[in-house]
Copies of this chain bind each other. A is one copy, B any other.
Amino acid sequence: MLKVLLDCFGGDHSPEANVEGALAALDRLSDISLILTGDEAALKRCLDGRRYDAGRLEIVHAPEVIGCDEKPIDAVRLKKDSSMMKAIRLLRDDEGIGAMVSTGSTGALVAAALTRIGRIRGVIRPAFCPILPTMSGGLVGICDSGANVEVSPEMLRQFGIMASVYMEGVYGVSQPRVSLLNVGKEAEKGDEIHQQAHILLSNTPELNFVGNMESRDLLGGSYDVVVADGFSGNVLVKTTEGTALQLLGKLKKDIYSRTLYKLGALLMKKMFADEKEFMNYQNYGGSVLLGLEKTVVKGHGSAKAVSVAKCIEQAYRMETSSIAARTEEIIMKYEHYDY
């Protein structure tokens, strides 16, 4: 039985969506048990009248909540009784627990994970790896997307290694095509950090490095992993999500502007629903913070039940694969490089 912690507060739809997602995950995965952290009375209200396997669900009372606008370091230090920090401490201290999921403050989660949870040997800094769907029906992982706004070339190589092992182990992508986000295809593009990273990635035979990627090619299906510094990786992921949402919104508005269009859209109802599902990031789970000894999954702040359940599934898959060992094995080969 795999134990996964679920921080039930701090998201836009907490705690209802988190509890709902927990029950869905319990249904779907028979060899998982969940520990929910948060205000016990509130969580019990959410569970009231619901049918579930009570032997696989436990509540750990944590009365405080970390808000999105709190300073991460202060939150980690001062809010010891928050749902997030209780989960982090349990993750650190309980050898029987391997993973946690949170939809709370990203900054606080990163600060807590970095200071409380050990790293895989050799890893300089853990990094986020969110997943986006591509037009060819596949998935692409972007690492880092915001945990590290400042990076070194060696860190970028490690992001490539961690994400490649992740896409292979968790999503079954064989020999993931790894690219480096840059302002042009040519190796000498970008600042010195990206130029150096290009050289390091090219000289890592464990990776299937295919060169620089220009951001307009992200969704084309030619890449399985995009290595990025946390700043531009964040811009890449959020711009993609934002543009997709804005365009869908515009389509909808324009459809309602004329009866003829409404009629046409009626015939295409299923297609539009499919497009919406395709672009709905709730369907793709959260971002795993790669490089830690234990699994930490950050769900979207706006995660609904379906997304929370997906995050728990990601945590489960992380724990049932041998990602940490494989990551360490490759990273330790290059550990003597200076950083």
- Contacts from A to B (Cβ < 8 Å): 69, 135, 146, 149-150, 181, 183, 186, 190-191, 194, 214-220, 230-232, 234-236, 238-247, 249-251, 254-255, 258, 260-261, 263-268, 271, 274-275, 278-279
Given that A263-B267, A275-B250 are contacting pairs, would A231 and B191 also be in contact in the complex, using a CB cutoff of 8 Å? yes
Q: Which 7 A-B pairs have the closest CB atoms?
A: A216-B242, A264-B267, A264-B268, A239-B239, A243-B243, A215-B238, A216-B238
User: Are the CB atoms of B190 and A218 closer together than 8 Å?
Assistant: no
Cβ of A200 to closest chain B Cβ, rounded Å:
18
**Contact of A217 (CB < 8 Å), options: B181, B194, B218, B242:** B242
Given that A135-B246, A215-B239, A264-B264 are contacting pairs, would A234 and B183 also be in contact in the complex, using a CB cutoff of 8 Å? yes
The answer for the CA separation of A274 and B261 in the assembled complex, in Å, is 12
The answer for the CA separation of A192 and B126 in the assembled complex, in Å, is 20
Cβ of A108 to closest chain B Cβ, rounded Å:
13
Instruction: Closest B residue to A260 by CB, please name it.
Output: B267
Query: What would 14 more interface pairs be, CB under 8 Å, given A216-B238, A216-B242?
Result: A181-B235, A183-B231, A183-B234, A183-B235, A191-B231, A194-B231, A215-B239, A219-B246, A232-B235, A235-B235, A247-B247, A260-B267, A261-B268, A264-B265
The answer for the CA separation of A234 and B191 in the assembled complex, in Å, is 13
